[in-house]
Amino acid sequence: MSSSQRADPLRGISPITDDRVEDAQGSQRVAMYRQGLVVVWIQGTVRAGPNTNQIADRLSHLVGGSPRDVHVFMDLAGFRQYDSDVRVRYTNALVNHPQLKRIVVFADSRIVRMGASVASMVLPQLRLVERPTFERELEELINS
């Protein structure tokens, strides 16, 4: 099955929480689908500021407030450009949470992939993967 024909692993599943912000250039979203499963989407061009702070704070709260292991999936397809402060803000949102077991990142932009590689130096749970692996691991967690 080609990537364009693949089913969205989250299709038909309603999130428990769903926070979104957007402006003319980009959008950011974080949702918890069940205790321990958090998904982040970022698209377009994102600048540091109130929108990034809001979503990063929510991400930190969802991970830090979980009584069980947390798995974060970051779908960064279409995320093209950002201030380095955005990477720092999201990285800081995820550090020092012992319940954070893995961060699975898909990004199709070279600059965003490089930023994720930098973040992985302080987030050893972070792995950059290709789309099929991202979707497979997300589906396996949903079905576990």
Q: What is the pLDDT of residues 1-23, one digit of tens each?
A: 334 445 677 888 889 999 999 99
Q: What is the pLDDT of residues 90-136, one digit of tens each?
A: 999 999 999 999 999 999 999 999 999 999 999 999 999 999 999 99
Give the global pTM. Answer: 0.92
Q: What is the pLDDT of residues 32-84, one digit of tens each?
A: 998 899 999 999 999 999 999 999 999 999 999 998 999 999 999 999 888 88
Residue labelled with tokens 């918890």: 32
Annotated domain spans of the chain: 17-136
Asked if 51 and 82 count as a contact pair (C-beta separation under 8 A), the reply is no
Q: What is the CATH number of domain 17-136?
A: 3.30.750.24
**What pLDDT sits at residue 7?**
62
H, E, C per residue of 68-106: CCEEEEEEECCEEEECHHHHHHHHHHHCCCCCEEEEEEE
